[in-house]
Amino acid sequence: MLMRLRSLPESLGPRGARSRVFPMGGSSGVSMLADFQIVAGGASGGGSSVSALGGGGGAAGGLVETLGVTVAATSYTVTIGAGGTGVSGATNGAAGSNSSVSGLGLTTAIGGGGGARGDSGLAAGNGGSGGGGANGAGGAAGTGTAGQGNNGGTGDTASPYGGGGGGGKGGAGVAGSAGGTGGTGYQAFDGNYYAAGGGGGRYGGNAAGGSSVGGTGANAGGSPATGGTANRGSGGGGAANGGTSGAGSAGCVLVRVKSAAWTLSHTGTMTSMVSGDSTIYCIKSSGTLTFAAVGGA
């Protein structure tokens, strides 16, 4: 006697590839797969108390992507890392904070490293990505974490002493001598860019942030530094001429699931969008995330 086998649901798989997902447990304990991108908070750019010495750009928070994670119909604690606060004067930029999801064995995303201040011998901060260097300390930039981000760009040790760009997930920050642009970010499940570095402060012109979401570095001629785009885990721009550096932006957690399998709720701020047969959730504040099987299956 021939038996017809019921078709099994599919996981998302890497970059849209499909693979079979086997529901596990009974009606109250089903488990399926989800994809995660965890983004830490970006750092602020370095300060500067001397007009001609630009601060380094703030680094992006680390971005950790994990595909095909087994999740159950239960709740998990999500922590969203804050961005580093902008600084002024002879102060290194403030680091971003870590982001994480508990209970699933996922790697914590590390906050970005602060940009170096423009008029001292302090190196930039290390983190998910490394902060941009400045004139002091031979322009030493910060170091990124393997698999999460990249190094910052070195500071310019000769006139016009521009700060280096902060590192991003998609690339290292550009050296101050070459413009100090922030490192590029990473295009996430929702099509937006996250985890980009801030531009370095400089005398003459503004150094752009990475991927249009990192903050712009200050121009000593008058244009101030700007912060990273909200909830993109991106670095702020470096200061110049005694102004305040750009703040880093808070991180987020993106979750991609099959629309026919899961629905998610969160005690904080969360947005969602449908893409094909999947739903992509963007969690923007810390709280409790609950997975529920569609139809209670």
Q: Tell me which residue of 134, 108, 92 sits closest to 36, measured CA to CA.
A: 108
Residue 248 has pLDDT above 50, yes or no: yes
Query: Across residues 118-123, what is the average pLDDT?
Result: 81
Residue 292 has pLDDT above 50, yes or no: yes
- What are 56-71's pLDDT values in tens digits? 999 999 999 999 999 9
Contact 198, 115 (CB under 8 A): yes
**Higher pLDDT pick, 22 / 177:** 177
Distance CA 14, CA 86 (A): 37
pLDDT of residue 31: 81
Q: Count of alpha carbons within 13 Å of 83, Cβ hemisphere only? A: 36
pLDDT of residue 1: 35
Q: List beta partners, residue 109.
A: 99
Distance CA 80, CA 100 (A): 7
Q: List beta partners, residue 272.
A: 281
pLDDT of residue 296: 57
pLDDT of residue 203: 85
Residue 10 has pLDDT above 90, yes or no: no
pLDDT of residue 29: 55
Query: Across residues 176-191, what is the average pLDDT?
Result: 96
- Which amino acid is present at 149? G
Strands 287-293 and 262-266: antiparallel
Give the pair of three-digit tokens for residue 56: 């380094």
Distance CA 247, CA 236 (A): 5
pLDDT of residue 9: 40
Q: What DSSP assignment string belongs to 110-152? A: PPPPPPPPTTSSPPPPPSSSPPPP-SGGGGPPP-PPTTT--PP
Distance CA 18, CA 16 (A): 6
- Which amino acid is present at 93? G
Kindly tell me the number of DSSP H helices and DSSP E strands found in the chain.
0, 13
pLDDT tier for residue 91 given thresholds of 50, 70 and 90: very high
Look over the chain and give the mean of its residue pLDDT values, rounded to a whole number.
89
Distance CA 246, CA 263 (A): 37
Q: List beta partners, residue 256.
A: 35, 280
- What are 256-290's pLDDT values in tens digits? 999 999 899 999 999 999 999 999 999 999 999 99
For residue 174, the SS3 value is: coil
Q: List beta partners, residue 191.
A: none
